[in-house]
Amino acid sequence: MQPELFPALIQQVRAIYGDGFIPLHRPVFEGNERQYLVDCIDSNFVSSVGAKVTEFEERIAAFTGAKYAVATVNGTAALHVALQLAGVQRGDEVLSQALTFIATCNALTYAGAEPVFIDVDRDTLGLSPEALRRWLTANADVREGQAYNRTTGKRIAACVPMHTFGFPLRIAEVVAVCDEYGIPVVEDAAESLGSYVGSQHTGTFGKLATLSFNGNKVITTGGGGMIITDDEVLARRAKHLTTTAKVPHPYEFVHDEVGYNYRLPNLNAALGCAQMERLPEMLAIKAEVARRYADFFEGSGIRFVQPIEGTTANWWLNAIVLEDEAARDALLEYTNAQGVMTRPIWRLMSRLEMFKHCQHDGLENSHWLEARVVNLPSSVPDGAMAAFPHVAGGA
């Protein structure tokens, strides 16, 4: 992107979001959030027990098409427990991508596993099924239905692909490769609520998946996460583990294993219920924001990241791919100096001190993208749900 285009980009962003400081992504509370919070306070149920927790779980399950949803205090906690439910044990290896947010690898570490980093596809920014197959062919053996790393001798206990910025990766192909090796897939769908492959929601392809409702996500509970699955046994165990593994009883406190205090408080769930009521509108408006960006970059020589054919993105974070690292840095410096927040993609996990020793496949595409990707402001604009009723389905 030529520097002479920088002012035009600032003008485009301000045409969408107005004057003043423009954050990367901010929450929007234009529905029943305040009323539902008051209702919780009046009910005295403000912690991890309450009707809004159950309602929020039911709303997420219905929206995603998953049979079961279990709310947690954040997305990292959800992924930690999901890995345990998938059978990951201390000393195992888990296949994932180096191009991801730190929470993915943190959760693997909490579970006692070590990541093995597989490259991503440049178009989806997510785990590449071809790279996955190449690595497994070269490095894995199957014994008694389970995959083992023939170099380290360790069990390959799971695969955790991540739908980067809400753009669906080739998840069906990833699951198919993993099935050949007996490797369960735990989808990191933290960023992809409202994203689809065909008509199937992301997070419903693997054995389990996790969502995040951090303050910068499409919808927020302030902090929060969710485990989704079609397996009733896993869902029951998820709820048990996230509620300190307490055996149900009217008054006695008996715990039958080491559990976690990971349940979502009722107050946070109240926010989530109100946000879910407006989710279709927010997704429609975010798609309109993305369309305006796409029109701006048309013919510029700059790739505006789009979902691949047959998929639908939630447009959590809009992204562009610059010519090189120097162009990326010039744009970041200019836009942030102008009060328009942009950011680079995450530093690769394989370049962080605590994961430098981990195995990887060279990560050619991951390094290429790390040097070039920039995120643009992607919030629902102030008042947009009232200002764009034609976009939001007439709401």
Confidence check: pLDDT of 178 > 50? yes
242 and 356 in a single domain? The answer is no
- Residue 220 included in any domain: yes
42 and 163 in a single domain? The answer is yes
pLDDT at 395 (0 to 100): 40
Q: Give the model confidence (pLDDT) of 189-215 as tens digits.
A: 999 999 999 999 999 999 999 999 999
| C-alpha closest to that of 305 among 101, 121, 174, 132 | 121
291 and 182 in a single domain? The answer is no
Angle, in degrees to the nearest 10, between helices 75-85 and 102-110:
40
pLDDT at 389 (0 to 100): 59
- Residue 158 included in any domain: yes
Q: What is the mean pLDDT of residues 212-241?
A: 97
pLDDT at 164 (0 to 100): 98
Start-to-end Cα distance in the chain: 38
Helix (H, G, I), strand (E, B) or coil at 172: helix
Domain final residue, candidates 255, 274, 293:
274
In 10 A of CB 214, how many CB atoms? 20
Cα 30 from chain centroid?
A: 23
Burial 248-262, CB ≥16 within 10 A → b, else e: eeeeeeeeeeeebeb
332 and 346 in a single domain? The answer is yes
| C-alpha closest to that of 73 among 264, 345, 287, 220 | 264
Of 5 and 218, which is predicted with more confidence?
218
- Residue 12 included in any domain: yes
198 and 290 in a single domain? The answer is no
Confidence check: pLDDT of 316 > 60? yes
Q: What is the mean pLDDT of residues 307-336?
A: 97
pLDDT at 300 (0 to 100): 92
Contact by Cβ (8 Å): 291, 307: no
172 and 224 in a single domain? The answer is yes
Q: What is the mean pLDDT of residues 339-350?
A: 98
pLDDT at 394 (0 to 100): 44
pLDDT at 331 (0 to 100): 97
Contact by Cβ (8 Å): 288, 8: no
Sheet holding 343-344, edge to edge: 303-304, 318-321, 373-376, 343-344
124 and 210 in a single domain? The answer is yes
141 and 231 in a single domain? The answer is yes
Q: Give the model confidence (pLDDT) of 128-173 as tens digits.
A: 999 999 999 999 999 999 999 999 999 999 999 999 999 999 999 9
37 and 21 in a single domain? The answer is no
pLDDT at 1 (0 to 100): 61
Burial 372-393, CB ≥16 within 10 A → b, else e: bbbbbbbbbbeebbeebeebbe
Q: Give the model confidence (pLDDT) of 256-280 as tens digits.
A: 999 999 999 999 999 999 999 999 9
pLDDT at 48 (0 to 100): 74
pTM of the complete model: 0.94
Domain final residue, candidates 274, 301, 336:
274
Confidence check: pLDDT of 386 > 80? no
Q: Give the model confidence (pLDDT) of 30-73 as tens digits.
A: 999 999 999 999 888 887 778 999 999 999 999 999 999 999 99
100 and 230 in a single domain? The answer is yes
Mean pLDDT of all residues belonging to the chain: 95
Of 293 and 43, which is predicted with more confidence?
293
341 and 359 in a single domain? The answer is yes
Provide the CATH number for the domain around residue 84. Answer: 3.40.640.10
- Residue 137: in which H helix or E strand, if any? helix 129-139
pLDDT at 55 (0 to 100): 97
Confidence check: pLDDT of 393 > 60? no
168 and 233 in a single domain? The answer is yes
User: Which structural domain range is residue 203 located in?
Assistant: 33-274
Domain count for the chain, please give it: 2
Extract the runs of DSSP E, i.e. beta strands, from the chain.
68-72, 93-97, 114-118, 140-143, 146-149, 156-160, 186-188, 196-197, 200-201, 208-212, 225-229, 303-304, 311-312, 318-321, 343-344, 373-376
pLDDT at 45 (0 to 100): 81
